[in-house]
Chain A
């Protein structure tokens, strides 16, 4: 049986539908992420799982039992809040002991569990500090420890890394993955940062305007976005308007206006005449100097329009014959060299056919 099952859950605020008929099944031990732009309904969904908000319709099942009408303190679900929400009048140890006290544990057990928990997050020497005496990263770790110490069935994390600076966030991401593996608690993580979602999750649900757009593993979400929203939201992607010329099980023949034919992997439900978009990631686009192979199908001549050097990679913007600009990402494997091509160079761009995706309008 699935650990958590969200069934046909809908939540409206007046005329606004925050969560629209959402269905999600989360397995035990999973690191599951709700990803979407702000206002997409991910936090509302999280609050309903925690018990701070009630769905207008639908069920939320934990271990097969509907918990919709259960008050938050009765649910074996704990939350790590975006603002940490540490109790300012209690010490670090007091904060971590709180859920244990509430569940009526004996003082001896509380003491040893708090000590163990402080060890896990490397804060043993901070037990008697107050929250305002801690740095952002330390507060964050106390919040994790407090959420996990009573071994909840489910830990909800509401953009917990949002307030940290980039470097610390990366460290905490790694710590978070390790922590989850160690304790084996199921995580439901909410974020609007797609790179964080890709880095941390076993599975991601991409949300937009209250709807689930796609639920999949990170590499599937990134590699095979199901629609234009997902493709656009996750990472960078080149898109071209195309029309389907020929559709078979294994591949699609597409025509790009003013450019010619391209091939893309076959997709269920697509038929000749359909209009849509061909999407290709910048790092899958290759740039070649010489135009000898330009005659071959799938190679398009163009001119380097601009480039952007960011250290590890350089993004080239190539203007193709029909005026479309396509981005290509090249790793900078040679130290001290910012670019392989100059603005104005005549080049050809190409890509592996199975790297591109056709998306219906």
Chain B
């Protein structure tokens, strides 16, 4: 018993080490007072300073934030509507239509969006095309989250609202939306995270104009791996971590406690 338990713990520890050691190294070396990522020399904030003086990197970060915020807003609105529709109309084809982009290889989605923008819409590639592309692949995730929450809920609550005199819009605003809010917020955060670090689809739909963060990082590495890359990666990690913590709290606690009957 004892030794088997020990074995399990060891395996678990190794798995977690495999997952997290690379991340820890990135963070640690972002504070390393050396141009090389090979040995620890001393603590410095120099690379963060360099990062904040790197104009192109700042523009890329701003662009990425604009894209992530816009795309997650669009995806959340559309995805919530899709989730409600799928739950309500029980049409088998609806979920397939919405969820297919999730399963689709990213490269395929990137290529098809590129062709669609250029050949069908005749759109100049740039911020707008990236926002549309990101919205496209985020919708499915929002829909799944909202749909899952609706399935766990008692449908008669929505009927009760109408029955007691609420118009369809009032019923949505006063009953449906507050009840699915945790799922909507979780979907929005998820979309934000997916959008801000997306490389493949962004690469295909960005055109030549604006620098975008993940692609900017990739370009930096092509030239030379400086701890500046570590610094930006650390900041990105921090942002994602905060989002995940908020999403987890929303999902498992606060609002759900109120929502159960």
A: which residues have CB within 8 A of B?
A: 50-52, 71-73, 77-79, 81-89, 98-99, 102-103, 130-132, 146-147, 150
| B160 near A85: Cβ-Cβ < 8 Å | yes
User: For B260, what are the chain A residues with a Cβ–Cβ distance below 8 Å?
Assistant: 88, 132
Residues of B within 8 A of A131 (CB): 261
CB contacts (< 8 Å) of A88 on chain B: these are: 157, 179, 258-261
Q: Using Cβ atoms and an 8 Å threshold, which residues of chain A touch B161?
A: 87, 98
Q: Which residues of B contact A103 (CB under 8 A)?
A: 165
Nearest CB on B from A193, distance (A)? 20
Task: Judge whether B73 is part of the interface by a CB distance below 8 angstroms.
Answer: no
B44 contacts A by Cβ under 8 Å: no
Among A73, A79, A81, A85, contact of B166 (Cβ-Cβ < 8 Å): A73
* Beta-carbon contact of B261 and A99 below 8 Å: no
Is B111 part of the contact surface with A, judged by Cβ < 8 Å?
Answer: no
A9 to B258, CA, bound (A): 41
B159 touches A (CB below 8 Å): yes
8 interchain residue pairs of minimum CB distance: A102-B165, A85-B160, A99-B164, A85-B156, A72-B162, A81-B156, A79-B163, A89-B178
From the candidates B159, B165, B171, B178, name the one contacting A99 in the complex (CB within 8 A). B165
Asked whether, in the complex, the Cβ of A81 is within 8 Å of the Cβ of B160, the reply is yes
Count B-side interface residues using an 8 Å CB cutoff. 23
- Nearest CB in chain A: distance from B192 CB, A: 25
Is the beta-carbon distance between B156 and A71 smaller than 8 angstroms?
A: no
Interface residue B124 (Cβ < 8 Å from any Cβ of A): no
Please pick, from A87, A89, A130, the residue contacting B160 in the complex, using a CB distance under 8 A. Answer: A87
Q: Please state if B163 and A87 are interface contacts (CB–CB under 8 Å).
A: no
Q: Does B167 reach chain A (CB closer than 8 Å)?
A: yes
Of A71, A77, A81, the most chain B CB neighbours within 10 A belong to A81
From residue B227, how far is it (CB to closest CB) to chain A in Å? 48
B208-235 with Cβ < 8 A to chain A:
none
Closest to B166 in A: A102
Q: Tell me whether B3 is interfacial, beta carbon within 8 Å.
A: no
User: Which chain B residues numbered 158 to 183 have a C-beta less than 8 Å away from chain A?
Assistant: 159-167, 170-171, 174-175, 178-179
Closest chain B residue to A130, Cβ basis: B258
CB of B154 within 8 Å of the partner chain: yes
